[in-house]
Amino acid sequence: MIEYLIGAGTIGAAALASKFLQFEQAQPTLKIHHRPFPLEWREILKEKWPIYRRLPENLRDQLEQLTLVFLERIEIRGVEGLEITDEIRVLTASQACLLLVNQNTFFPAKLKSVVIRPSAYTATQHDSVGGVQSEREILVLGQSWENGLVVLSWDNTRTGAANAKDGRNLVLHEFAHQLDQADGQADGAPILGSPEQYERWQSVCSRVFADLQAKVNEGDKTLIDEYGATNPAEFFSVVTETFFEKPYYLKKKRPELYELFADYYQVDPLTWT
Ligand SMILES: [Zn+2]
């Protein structure tokens, strides 16, 4: 079993305090200057992304302004012949920025570019089990690198937006990794505001993560996708998808985890119906 990385015994109080000290440096405050949002872009979002349609007005306003900041600061580049359209730009940026509403902050400054591939792609994964090295081809929908690069499959970016109730959203997943990686460590704990918050994070997430791993090992059906049992970093990204797309069930089954994520993301998706 993989320990939750900030679980008891792996990172002590001193490390928690130093994580806390990075808070100010890594999460600069964002001041938003209100600017007009193109009507065509609003139409794209209304048509392609049910969550946008459900958002309360003040969150929708914030999301639009954050989308403009995103498109100004972060380059979106197509590869393998994919031509970047307004639909690709807006749907990518807005889904990512859902993670930032109500937070007065932005993604870490090291996040500079997003590469969009037409569809899922294969990559070689190197495994090492008991000193034995092996290689296998895996299907990849997206990736988030610690140096601030995000790679996304456009097919899955689009379908992830279109189905807002299946608990799967590629863009939320990869950009949640960016929040987790903002302090330089992909450990399943984003930057939080106080040592007490880290303690609460550690306590709630360790418990649910261990429980999810046990259920997956038993072959039981789980609300949080079993990919979340891979490691704490995947747990954070997968729970983020569940939180925004299956809030009712998450709150019902894991109320303490729902509250933790509602406090972190500063929103209550349950009220967006
Ligand atoms: Zn992931």
What is the DSSP code string of 46-71? HHH-HHHHHS-HHHHHHHHHHHHHHH
Q: What is the pLDDT of residues 149-171, one digit of tens each?
A: 999 999 999 999 999 999 999 99
Across the range 210-214, mean pLDDT stands at 97
Question: Please, which pLDDT band fits residue 1 given cuts at 50, 70 and 90?
Answer: very low
Mean pLDDT computed over every residue of the chain: 90
Domain 29-164: top CATH class: mainly alpha
3-state secondary structure of 83: coil
| Cα 233 to middle of ligand 1, angstroms | 7
| Cα 236 to middle of ligand 1, angstroms | 9
Question: Please, which pLDDT band fits residue 123 given cuts at 50, 70 and 90?
Answer: confident
Residue-range domain boundaries for the chain: 1-27+182-273, 29-164
| Cα 60 to middle of ligand 1, angstroms | 26
8 A C-beta contact, residue 186 and residue 209 = no
Which residues, chain by chain, have CB under 5 Å from ion ligand 1? 234, 237
| Cα 37 to middle of ligand 1, angstroms | 31
The helix/strand count (H/E) of the chain reads as 11, 6
* Sequence-distant (≥ 6) Cβ neighbours of residue 219 within 8 angstroms: none
Across the range 217-227, mean pLDDT stands at 96
Examine the pLDDT at 6 and tell me if it is beyond 50.
no
pLDDT given at position 120: 94
Strands 75-78 and 132-140: unpaired
| Cα 234 to middle of ligand 1, angstroms | 5
- State the number of CA atoms in the 13 A half-sphere of 255 facing the CB: 1
Kindly report the CATH number that applies to the domain delimited by 1-27+182-273. Answer: 3.40.390.10
